């Protein structure tokens, strides 16, 4: 076998030309024949017993070519890529030059390669200071949320619907005098002021009395997810069955004892503030990291191969599918709901995918430039943390070499980001 490797006129792309001896290709053909012989039913022979030359004569010389190619080539291609230290970032574009029994197999493989990264400025970049101090208003807002969560729900009979009430209603929607799909419900509990319905709907429920029926006229927003309804005038026939209101508990020490491990409201408020500050600090840290990566990215020019972007988009789609599965729907259902095609989703992801790839390449280059490493102690600490969080055995996770490599790379990436931030000029004005 012989291989020619050459750069193409396109940056970050190489072309490999393979010539495989006729003997090897013929052996692959026979191997495929032996695997598939049992499927051939030829008159005059028991099923699966027809000789190779008879099968070939019956179905044509090329019947086994494609399968023989697929049997032989992948391992040869992968070995050549590995031996020549070619960092392929795309699937190879295969072009068959010559493929015939008894002759050398000749084909080319066009593949994109990992781009060279010439780092720009990554030390001394300017960053704004990001911080989110917790205010008394933030604490009160959280308290109000907990208070509402612990509210008693009581039925009201002596007054019409007010803001913040829960209205139990039947409704059916009509557009152009015709009922539309998904526009009907019975005994639906609508919290007035929640803004879960079409703008203007909840406002018109206010003032209704139990047993009252009413036509409510609204207009669907122009950006409504259903294009059939977007921007359309609609009439909802509504009947009110019941009015409920929330009775909020008093904010005092007894409340604190009921909803927390603290004996006083003061201590409970302090705890809320500390927890929210920790969350805000994490948010600020994450935002600072993103700003740091973005700043360095703006200083660095990279010609990113399309294959890397396509691979990243595929990964983002898989993440989306996983998120959707938690909601009990698949990608096809999601696309139907959103009235979009997969191609449109991919196009929407393209810009972010390019940013992700560029950031990853830059951080890899910094890791290499600064000789950043991860220690066994750091890896083991992460494994211990994962074992605790996910209820797994530490020993079991420690045997997973792929996981350890993933953790090691994450540690090095974190160190690279920390290095950028540590050496940055922080602007105190936010």
262-291 pLDDT per residue, tens: 999 999 999 999 999 999 999 999 999 999
Label residue 430 by pLDDT band (50, 70, 90): very low
Cβ–Cβ contacts within 10 Å for residue 394, how many? 13
157-197 pLDDT per residue, tens: 999 999 999 999 999 999 999 999 989 999 999 999 999 99
201-221 pLDDT per residue, tens: 999 999 999 999 999 999 999
Backbone angles phi, psi at 93, to 5 degrees: -90, 105
350-402 pLDDT per residue, tens: 999 999 999 999 999 999 999 999 999 999 999 999 999 989 999 999 999 99
Please tell me the pTM assigned to this model: 0.72
Query: How confident is the model at residue 429, as a pLDDT?
Result: 60
Q: Do 122 and 420 contact (CB within 8 A), yes or no?
A: yes
42-92 pLDDT per residue, tens: 888 878 788 888 888 888 888 999 999 999 999 999 999 999 999 999 999
Q: Do 33 and 57 contact (CB within 8 A), yes or no?
A: no
Question: In the CATH scheme, what is the code of domain 259-427?
Answer: 1.10.3120.10
CATH superfamily ID and name for 2-112? Trigger factor ribosome-binding domain (3.30.70.1050)
| Structure tokens that stand for 392 in this block | 């797994």
Mean of per-residue pLDDT scores for the chain: 93
- Single out the residue of 182, 145, 151 nearest to residue 165, CA to CA: 151
Spell out the SS3 assignment of the chain. CEEEEEECCCCCEEEEEEEECHHHHHHHHHHHHHHHHHHCCCCCCCCCCCCHHHHHHHHCHHHHHHHHHHHHHHHHHHHHHHHCCCCECCCCEEEEEECCCCCCEEEEEEEEECCCCCCCCCCCCEEECCCCCCCHHHHHHHHHHHHHHCCEEEEECCCCCCCCCEEEEEEEEEECCEEEEEEEEEEEEEECCCCCCCCCHHHHHCCCCCCCEEEEEEECCCCCCCCCCCCCEEEEEEEEEEEEEEECCCCCHHHHHHHCCCCCHHHHHHHHHHHHHHHHHHHHHHHHHHHHHHHHHHCCCCCCCHHHHHHHHHHHHHHHHHHHHHCCCCHHHHHHHHCCCHHHHHHHHHHHHHHHHHHHHHHHHHHHHCCCCCCHHHHHHHHHHHHHHHCCCHHHHHCCHHHHHHHHHHHHHHHHHHHHHHCCEEECCC
Pick the CATH number of 152-247 from 3.40.50.300, 3.10.50.40, 3.50.50.60, 3.30.43.10: 3.10.50.40
Distances (CA, A) of 193 to 153, 164, 200: 16, 6, 10
Domain boundaries, the chain: 2-112, 152-247, 259-427
């Amino acid at each position: 076998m012989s291989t020619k490797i050459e750069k193409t006129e396109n940056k970050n792309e190489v072309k490999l030309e393979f010539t495989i001896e006729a003997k090897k290709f013929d052996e692959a053909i026979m191997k495929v024949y032996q695997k598939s012989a049992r499927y051939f039913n030829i008159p005059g022979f028991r099923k699966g017993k027809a000789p190779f030359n008879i099968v070939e004569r019956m179905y044509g010389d090329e019947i086994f070519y494609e399968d023989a190619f697929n049997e032989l080539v992948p391992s040869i291609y992968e070995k050549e890529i590995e031996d020549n230290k070619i960092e392929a970032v795309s699937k190879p574009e295969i072009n068959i030059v010559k493929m015939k029994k008894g002759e050398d197999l000749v084909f080319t493989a066009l593949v994109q390669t990992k781009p060279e990264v010439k780092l720009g400025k990554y030390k001394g970049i300017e960053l704004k200071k990001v911080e989110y101090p917790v205010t008394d208003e933030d604490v009160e807002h959280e308290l109000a949320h907990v208070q509402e969560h612990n509210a008693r729900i009581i039925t009201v009979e002596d007054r019409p619907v007010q803001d913040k009430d829960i209205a139990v209603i039947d409704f059916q929607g009509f557009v152009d005098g015709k009922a539309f799909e998904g526009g009907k419900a019975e005994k639906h509990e609508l919290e007035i002021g929640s803004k879960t319905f079409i703008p203007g709907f909840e406002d018109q429920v206010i003032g209704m009395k139990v047993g009252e029926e009413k036509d409510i006229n609204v207009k669907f927003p122009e950006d409504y997810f259903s294009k059939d309804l977007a921007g359309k005038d609609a009439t909802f026939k509504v009947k009110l069955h019941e009015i409920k209101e929330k009775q909020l508990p008093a904010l005092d020490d007894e409340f604190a004892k009921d909803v927390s491990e603290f004996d006083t409201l003061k201590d409970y408020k302090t705890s809320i503030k500390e927890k929210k500050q920790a969350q805000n600090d994490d948010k600020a840290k994450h935002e600072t990291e993103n700003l740091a990566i973005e700043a360095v990215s703006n200083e660095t020019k990279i010609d990113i191969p399309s294959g890397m972007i396509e691979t990243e988009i595929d990964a983002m789609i898989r993440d989306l599918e996983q998120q959707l599965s938690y909601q009990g729907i698949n990608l096809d259902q999601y696309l139907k709901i959103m009235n979009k095609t997969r191609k449109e989703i991919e196009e929407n992801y393209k810009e972010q995918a390019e940013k992700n790839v560029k950031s990853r390449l830059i951080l890899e280059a910094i890791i290499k430039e600064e000789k950043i490493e991860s220690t066994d102690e750091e890896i083991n600490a992460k494994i211990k943390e994962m074992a605790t969080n996910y209820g797994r055995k530490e020993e079991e996770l420690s045997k997973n070499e792929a996981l350890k490599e993933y953790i090691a790379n994450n540690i090095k990436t974190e160190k690279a980001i920390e290095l950028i931030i540590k050496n940055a000029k922080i602007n105190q004005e936010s």
